[in-house]
Structure 1
Amino acid sequence: MQRAVLKTSKLSKTFSNGGMQQHILKNLDLEIYDGDFTVIMGSSGAGKSTLLYALSGMDKPTLGEIYFGNQEITGLNNDKLAIFRRKNCGFVFQQIYLLDNMSVMDNIIACGLLLSDNKKEIAERAGKLLLAVGLKENVWHKFPSQLSGGEAQRGGIVRALINTPGILFADEPTGALNSSSGNAVLNVLTEVNEKGQSIIMVTHDLKSALRGSRILYLKDGSVCGECKLGTYKGEDENRNAALLSFLKKMGW
């Protein structure tokens, strides 16, 4: 039986817009399992990114509870939430938020130093991770502007992994990349998941969604369907057909 690493109870998020209440998430009960590659899909405005930010502690829900393991995080103040995120969460976004005035390696080390003062140990781990994602030593000390989009995003993934997060959160990580670079990033995510890394990824892209082991479809602020695809083993007509059939049923 899989262990739930993250779960929600009656999670709701409401925004006030011109005096009107806009309900983005509605009484959402959800469990995320250890080692899963969970993909969240849904139409534009369904609340996918809002859910991702709430689950990661980047945004507070209006109502409900979020448990990371046995820890309830919705009651934490902003300072404690920041510490929680450093220790437990890694983030990869559509925009590559590497600092322009620092090399890729220095970006990663700076993140590692948030939890440890052993710079040598952090640099050694960063080097191993960079090699694992296909970035050779000749690019480690380049600035982000000197890299391709795919290279920079892979550097961003290493930065997200440097503190060994319990969950890696990815919000449209291939959205700003061309097909080749996007595929390289998806390969990295697949590989780290195969090693046991739990991932939650928001995407509207079918090719990206195929990498997931579990697809959740969000509609009107609630999960209205789930598709279990199992571990990704490469291009598979049956996998494609299963996902397309599920998405058609969901009205995608």
Structure 2
Amino acid sequence: MKKIIIGDNIVKSFGEGDEKHNALDGVSIQIDEGEFVSVMGPSGSGKSTLMFALSGMDGLDGGRVAFDGRDLTALKENEYADIRRTSMGFIFQQPTFLKNLNILDNIMLPSMRDNRKNVAEITERARALMKRVGIAELEQRDITQVSGGQLQRAGICRALMSYPQIIFGDEPTGALNSKSAEEIMDILSEINSEGTSVMLVTHDAKIAARTERIMFMRDGKIVSELLLQKFSGTDIDDRMKRVAARMREIGV
């Protein structure tokens, strides 16, 4: 299986002097092309820092990261930024949109910066994605006129605009009710089934149980992994029991 991301002995530190600590303490990780993984752990365990390190949103203090065969730690920042913009998609707990733009324009905005002459093509892509995730009728709405779940769907559309090889999600369902969270996971599962790798950071065991591999972090290290099959939509109770058992076993 092709490795889309390889992280080798990653170190990320914060603070100075006696206050310095390693948020990531020699973490090594591999994510396969088309894999759906999640990272769990208590607050401060390093799970979000790991996502930021793998995606190039944060620099490293040690180790290396390779994406699709390229050593990202050897690239200039503008080269790294190009890869993030064209090959990676990002979904956050609280999507950041401009208040003076409607939903459609917010989805299109990052792509417009690179392809000003292809407005019709970009608009078609954005509308197709909005239709796919069930918010086609909201394109002219302001961001204050939609629900949290609808706004997160718009965030998914924006993340998919450049046909990314991997989607990173930092607590993408954390601000949603259970029904909306399940709907967002349905969309991400469908995207993954089409070949896009997905990596989620989450504190929610039910969300993690829908992924196929869970990494558990504590004190800046990956302390355990749990392998599951692709989610079929019918075995969530059994998967939840396995996740809960592993969490008890390792004290996370």
Which band: TM-score by shorter chain?
over 0.9
Corresponding residue for residue 126 of structure 1: 126
Deviates more, 1:142-151 or 1:228-237: 228-237
Corresponding residue for residue 227 of structure 1: 226
Task: Return closer, same or farther for 1:115/1:164 CA change in 2, 3 Å cut-off.
Answer: farther
Query: 1:87 and 1:179 mapped to 2: Cα distance?
Result: 31
Deviates more, 1:8-17 or 1:38-47: 8-17
Q: CA deviation at 1:161?
A: 0.6
Q: CA deviation at 1:81?
A: 2.1
Letter of the 1:126 counterpart: A
Contact 1:95 1:176 in 2 (8 A): yes
Corresponding residue for residue 3 of structure 1: 2
Query: 2:45 and 2:147 mapped to 1: Cα distance?
Result: 32
Query: 2:7 and 2:178 mapped to 1: Cα distance?
Result: 34
Query: 1:250 and 1:98 mapped to 2: Cα distance?
Result: 39
Deviates more, 1:12-21 or 1:227-236: 12-21
Corresponding residue for residue 162 of structure 1: 161
SS at match of 2:108: helix
Q: CA deviation at 1:251?
A: 1.1
Letter of the 2:240 counterpart: N
Q: CA deviation at 1:183?
A: 1.9
Corresponding residue for residue 48 of structure 2: 49
Corresponding residue for residue 190 of structure 1: 189
Q: CA deviation at 1:17?
A: 4.5
Deviations 1:37-91 (A, max 9, x none): 1100111110011000010000001001000011111232332222221111111
Deviates more, 1:73-82 or 1:200-209: 73-82
SS at match of 1:204: coil
Q: CA deviation at 1:110?
A: 1.2
Query: 1:56 and 1:64 mapped to 2: Cα distance?
Result: 14
Query: 1:228 and 1:114 mapped to 2: Cα distance?
Result: 40
Letter of the 2:172 counterpart: P
Query: 1:230 and 1:3 mapped to 2: Cα distance?
Result: 18
Q: CA deviation at 1:116?
A: 2.6
Query: 2:203 and 2:234 mapped to 1: Cα distance?
Result: 19
Q: CA deviation at 1:155?
A: 0.3
State the identity as a percent: 38
RMSD: 1.4
Deviations 1:75-133 (A, max 9, x none): 32332222221111111001111211111111111122233331111111111111111
Contact 1:86 1:115 in 2 (8 A): no
Query: 1:197 and 1:69 mapped to 2: Cα distance?
Result: 13
Query: 2:238 and 2:174 mapped to 1: Cα distance?
Result: 25
Contact 1:86 1:163 in 2 (8 A): yes
Query: 1:44 and 1:104 mapped to 2: Cα distance?
Result: 32
Corresponding residue for residue 249 of structure 2: 249
Contact 1:86 1:114 in 2 (8 A): no
Moved >6 Å (runs of 4+): none
SS at match of 2:248: helix
Letter of the 1:124 counterpart: E
Matches within 5 A, 1:78-97: 78-97=77-96
Deviates more, 1:139-148 or 1:14-23: 14-23
Q: CA deviation at 1:18?
A: 6.0
Contact 1:25 1:51 in 2 (8 A): yes
Q: CA deviation at 1:199?
A: 0.5
Q: CA deviation at 1:34?
A: 0.7
User: Tell me, which stretches of 5 or more residues in structure 2 are unaligned?
Assistant: none
Query: 2:223 and 2:31 mapped to 1: Cα distance?
Result: 16
Contact 1:13 1:61 in 2 (8 A): yes
Q: CA deviation at 1:221?
A: 1.3
